[in-house]
Chains A and B, each alone.
Chain A
Amino acid sequence: MKTQPCVQTLVATCAFFVISLSSCSLLHHDSDASHVIYALPARQAASSPLVQPMTGIGKPFIFTHDRFVLTDQQTAILAKSAPQWAKDKIRLLIIGFAKRDLPPGYARVLAHRRAESVRQALIEQGLDAANLHSTGYGNDIPSLSLEDSVVIYQMK
């Protein structure tokens, strides 16, 4: 019984170091406020098709209605390309888009969530998470791409 607090302290200390090393920069856990407090990490340098011309790799992934989960077919397509991308260690920017008539606030997050689904699938296929950036443009940039799609760009 006496050793239990020490074990807890050790576990908490280890957890603190592990989380501190991650990009989320966990500061501390305030037991009174009960919430984990984050210092916001800054985005690393990344190119964007808004700032410089970029071409999408392959065909856009299309999502219907409010869906944000990849179909088996889409997962299979990613699985085919992923080994080469992992081998080449290329940096990818994955951007989601949503239907033009959706409420814009919802469209932005839905688009990002779709892009994140593609990013997670690529991580599962062995790509380094540090080389995969995702974001969502919702329906804010109608000139850039198709509706309801996710486009993968190669970053230089």
Chain B
Amino acid sequence: MLSKFRLVCALVAVALGGSQAHGESWWSRIFDVKPSGSQSAQELEKAATLAIGEFTGATGATAAKTIGEQLAASDEVQLLDKGARFNLTGRSVGGRITGRLADRKGKVLFERTYAAPGLEDNVRAFSDDVIFAVTGRPGVATSRIAFVSDLTGTKQVYLCDADGSDVEQVTHQAYGAVSPTIAGDGSMMAFTGYGSGFPDVILIDMGAGQERQVACTPGMNAGAAFAPDGRRLALTMSFVGNPEIFVLDLNNGHAICVTESIGVPSSPAWHPDGKRLVFSANEGLGPQLYTVDTGTEQPAVRWATGYNFATDPEWSPDGTEVAFTTRVNNDWSVVTRKFPSGSTRVIQKSGAQHPTWSPDGRHLAYAQHGQLWVQDLTTGKRRSIVSGHGNISEPRWKK
């Protein structure tokens, strides 16, 4: 047994040594790093290229390897053997990481210590900081996705990491919980709960785990969406008679009505400016998309999408596109459309529903045939990140 272990170690050492002998670092083999000679000097100057340098300490090697894997999987930065614009070094002991990002002149862009209990959590946080510093876009490694599953027999809300790992049940509502939304800072989640026997909107403090009802008016209360400031919810309520879209101030419990519908207004979602809403409304001709400015009394305006069925809209993080659910050839499909006008792109057909944008705007998550999928909008690659976990619906990515 011991001799086999020694043999494996020797082979790894030879393999790594061989790499070094050819002027490549060991991680360049593992992460499929492109040689810098394949790009022009100008391209390299602009590209988010990164070299992983030395990580000292007892868990330094493991930390460097995991960071490399995380960054490579993100597709946001290009790992280079030499000639990279940025260089990553650090130290790791007992899973804690002190990471340093410097440019090629040696100027330190940031140096931070990550002291979460597990190495993986620290790697994710470090990786997101590196991506933000290098690209200006938020990383998604530390972001989480809420979704609904009927795994326990009733619909309940769950959370998972952006790669589908670490699935945890958040709600334990009698008769079910649906339609989750997470505040931008991750401190609160709101959902529609049936604990009273009626659809009410309930808020959870994600730190303390405490729940409180924020909308339990006569009729229905559903479909809440956190405003970017985390202090307001847009939701559908019907205490005035017909269902309408309201904006609820969580500080004082007061609400304003922003629609005047005779039909079915649902699924409000905020523009990143925190002023405008996009929502679906069926005023007799099937659900269509509308926008409304919550700061004025201007009536909602129909936004022509080219489809006669459009629900579950969500604005991209930069506000230039809206993703929504529609029907293509009688099949549920997820599409994106430039806002206010422009091209429409079918992202996924065959039963895909309820798209939600990643914080960096590069990915869409959606439910399809009971599974949770994430699709890279740049490459078109997609993968099922949660499956075999009941029937999954209504994913919502923390922004």
Residues of A participating in the B interface, judged by any CB pair closer than 8 Å: 23-24, 27, 33-44, 46-51, 66, 68-69, 101, 103-106, 108-110, 112-113, 116, 120, 133-137, 140-141
A47-B197 in contact (CB<8A): yes
Q: Given A39-B253, A106-B312, does the pair A133, B218 have CB atoms closer than 8 Å? A: yes
A40-B179 in contact (CB<8A): no
Q: Does B297 contact A (CB under 8 A)?
A: yes
- Chain B residue numbers with a CB within 8 Å of A23 are 218, 239
> Which of B179, B216, B237, B238 has a CB less than 8 Å from the CB of A105?
B179
Q: Does B230 contact A (CB under 8 A)?
A: no
Q: Which 7 A-B pairs have the closest CB atoms?
A: A48-B197, A35-B256, A109-B266, A34-B297, A51-B197, A105-B267, A106-B311
> Distance (Å) between the CB of A26 and the closest chain B CB?
10
B282-A136 in contact (CB<8A): no
Number of A-B contacts (CB under 8 A): 157
Q: Does B329 contact A (CB under 8 A)?
A: no
B238-A48 in contact (CB<8A): no
A68-B199 in contact (CB<8A): no
Q: Given A42-B217, A140-B155, A140-B178, does the pair A103, B311 have CB atoms closer than 8 Å? A: yes
- Chain B residue numbers with a CB within 8 Å of A47 are 197
- Chain B residue numbers with a CB within 8 Å of A103 are 267, 311-312, 325, 332, 353-354
Q: Does B242 contact A (CB under 8 A)?
A: yes
A-B contact pairs, 21 of them (CB 8 A): A23-B239, A35-B258, A37-B254, A37-B256, A38-B240, A38-B246, A39-B253, A40-B239, A40-B253, A41-B218, A43-B216, A68-B263, A103-B267, A104-B148, A109-B243, A110-B282, A112-B238, A112-B243, A133-B219, A135-B198, A136-B199
A134-B222 in contact (CB<8A): no
Q: Does B368 contact A (CB under 8 A)?
A: no
**Number of residues on chain B facing chain A (CB within 8 A):** 59
- Chain B residue numbers with a CB within 8 Å of A140 are 155, 176, 178, 194, 199
> Distance (Å) between the CB of A95 and the closest chain B CB?
9
* 20 extra A-B contacts, CB within 8 A, seeds A43-B218, A105-B222, A106-B312: A33-B295, A37-B256, A40-B239, A40-B255, A46-B197, A49-B197, A103-B325, A104-B354, A105-B312, A105-B354, A105-B394, A108-B192, A109-B223, A109-B243, A110-B282, A113-B243, A116-B219, A116-B243, A133-B218, A140-B176
